[in-house]
């Protein structure tokens, strides 16, 4: 009786695309976006985290030696609200070890009622042993005060 139930559950997961793996009869969720292995995933997740004010979630994508500064700036980031973001261009070297993305954010500072556009250049590199992608944030453009 246990085999048909297991087969039915496995079929439902495969047909439904639920992304679960069955181990000894228990469902264990797996999320393919939890890895930072591909540039496209890393760039999208970092940009989306910045766009929605999830700076703690964006921090792991920042170059490890720049993470302390990123952490220090989080307080200032919290004064930003973004209404839109779009990636304008992406340039990846043939070896897929470095990339540059140009991202346009539209947003405002809480202290200013005026919305403005910010063009940010994201410079990325892939760490070879782990295959993780890390960004060097453009702090100056992102934290440019209102009216600049």
Answer yes or no: are the C-beta atoms of 76 and 142 closer than 8 Å.
Answer: no
Q: What is the pLDDT of residue 92?
A: 95
Strand 98-109 to 116-126 pairing? antiparallel
Q: What is the pLDDT of residue 67?
A: 94
More confident residue, 120 or 148: 120
Cα-Cα-Cα-Cα dihedral sign, residues 105, 110, 115, 116: negative
More confident residue, 59 or 9: 59
Does the pTM exceed 0.85? no
Which tens digits make up the pLDDT trace of 34-59? Answer: 444 689 999 999 999 999 999 999 99
Q: Does residue 18 surpass a pLDDT of 80? A: no
More confident residue, 41 or 76: 41
d(CA 115, CA 82): 9
């Amino acid at each position: 009786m246990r085999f048909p139930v297991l087969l039915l559950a496995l079929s439902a997961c495969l047909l439904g695309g639920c992304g679960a793996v069955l181990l000894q009869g228990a469902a264990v969720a797996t999320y393919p976006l939890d890895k930072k292995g591909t540039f496209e995933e890393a760039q999208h997740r970092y940009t989306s985290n910045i766009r929605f004010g999830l700076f703690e979630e964006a921090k792991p994508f920042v170059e490890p030696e720049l993470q302390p500064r990123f952490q220090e700036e989080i307080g200032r980031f919290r004064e930003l609200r973004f209404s839109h973001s779009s990636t304008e261009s992406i340039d990846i070297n043939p070896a897929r070890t470095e990339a540059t993305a140009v991202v346009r954010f539209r947003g405002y500072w809480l202290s200013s009622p005026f919305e403005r556009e910010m063009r940010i250049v994201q410079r990325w590199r892939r760490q070879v042993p782990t295959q993780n992608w890390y960004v060097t944030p453009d702090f100056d453009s992102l934290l440019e005060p209102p009216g600049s």
